[in-house]
Each structure stands twice: as C-alpha cells, then as structure tokens.
Amino acid sequence: MIVDTHVHLDDPRYAEDLEEVLERSREAGVTRWIIPGADPDTLPRAVELAQTHADIFFAVGVHPYDARRYDRAYLERYIGHEKCVGVGECGLDYYRLPEGDEAIAEEKRIQKEVFIDQIDLAAKYDKPLIVHIREASRDSQELLERYASGRGGVLHCFNADHQLLALAERNFYYGIGGVLTFKNARKLVEVYPRIPRDRLLIETDGPYLTPHPYRGQRNEPAYCKLIAEKMAELSEISFEELTGICRENTRRLFGI
C-alpha cells in the first residue's frame, strides 16, 4: 500500500472523473490519500470527500499565495474533524513577488505573519505541518526552528536545499514527488540520498508536477508508483522495502 500524502483531489480538474482517478490509483497500489488545505474555497469539498471516502483524509491551511485571505476561525471550524490530519499547506513563497521594495517587504511580512499563525494553530491542536517553501528556504527554516512544536511536519515538494536537511532533527519529513523523475532534477537527485530514510514521504501534488514520462498531462495519484520506483532506485533498495518505509513514516507522522 502507498499513501499519496499530498494530492489536491478537491481541485476542479478532478471533478468529472474522480472515481475513475481513485480506481486507477488503487490498481497501482495507492490506496490512501491526503488532501492538503491550500484554497479556502475548496476546503468544504475536501471535507466532503473525506466524509464520503473512508481512505481520504484532509488538512486545513492556506497557501502563501492566498495569505491575504487567511481566516484562522474558518480553519478552526474544520480542524477538529476526525479526518483532519494536519495543518497546511502553509509556508513562504517568494517566487512571484510584487515590484518595488516596499511592496516586496509588505508581501513577505504578510506571508510570514500568516505562516507563524498556522504554525501556532498546528501546535495548539497537536497536528503536523504541511509546509510549502519556494525560494524562501532561509526564512522558512528560521520560522520553523523558532516556532514549530515537536510534532514537526513535512516539507512538501522538497526543494533540494541541503540546509533544510537539518530540520530532520526537529521531526520534519521530506515529501518527494514527480520532480525526482525529471531529467533536469540533478540537484534533487544529488541531495536525495542524504535524506534519512525514516523521513521520506511519497506525494504527487496532483494535478501538478506530473512525473516523467507523463509531464504536461494532469497528474494523478496512480503515478506515486513511478515516484516510488525512482526513489527505490536512488536508495538502492527494493520497491517493496521503499514503500514499506514510506508507509511507516506516514503512519508515524499523520497517524494513518
């Protein structure tokens, strides 16, 4: 059994054929799914899917691009749900910043403020974090080291910044997705063997970041198998051993 620890099944791109997507996933050995909270508008859909499917779970959170729409009280309406397993995806993303020094500073301030509050939310309810980091490794690491609880979390779509490997000692895991299969993923391929095996998780980030050889198409959880095969190859262990390790890691972090 493989768990897709990060897949946006609440995305409209799955609306018309979700059951077929899940069936293909099961046939590939991927039988549990975690929907991260990214867009407040789709959170009710994630909750609905978790309530109607025994093996779908969800997290509550707001992506840094939507930081200005953050509403802690709204997330707290759902965080106590029995199928809620985490807080996020939350974090920092400096890839698309506005022009002008003042505007950049204000955007970073808002993202940091919202990230810190979601870290606090996770600590209050004893939930692991699902962390999004893009071109913001230093600030993200600083905030996590200062504010995160011992519950830890996962660095979603790990960006191969070797400095972030230090967070493994603070109970953080590393989400590995389709990027590992890309021909230009040299940095991640080089850093991957340095990640402790007991900190590896498998994810697709579907419908985004589709692995080779399906790049350009909609991603879906069945492709976890392709990611796991590449992980096993780089770890120099069998596919069965790799997926067993990741399954245990998922159970330890998310309780599923």
Q: Are 47 and 81 in contact (CB under 8 A)?
A: yes
21, amino acid identity:
V
For position 81, what pLDDT does the model report? 98
Q: Set out the domains of the chain in order of their start, with CATH numbers.
A: 2-254 (3.20.20.140)
Cβ(61)–Cβ(130) under 8 Å?
yes
- State residue 84's pLDDT score: 98
In Å, what is the CA distance from 225 to each residue of 128, 222, 243, 256?
A: 25, 6, 9, 19
pLDDT at 232: 98
Please state, in angstroms and rounded to a whole number, the distance separating the CA atoms of residues 80 and 143.
Answer: 25
In the chain (256 residues long), the average pLDDT of successive 10-residue segments reads 97 97 98 96 97 98 97 98 98 94 96 98 98 98 97 97 97 98 96 98 98 97 98 98 98 97
CB atoms within 10 A of CB 248: 11
- Nearest of 254, 252, 219 to residue 88 by alpha carbon: 254
pLDDT at 64: 97
Contact 49, 58 (CB under 8 A): yes
Residue 196: predicted pLDDT: 98
- Residue 205 DSSP symbol: -
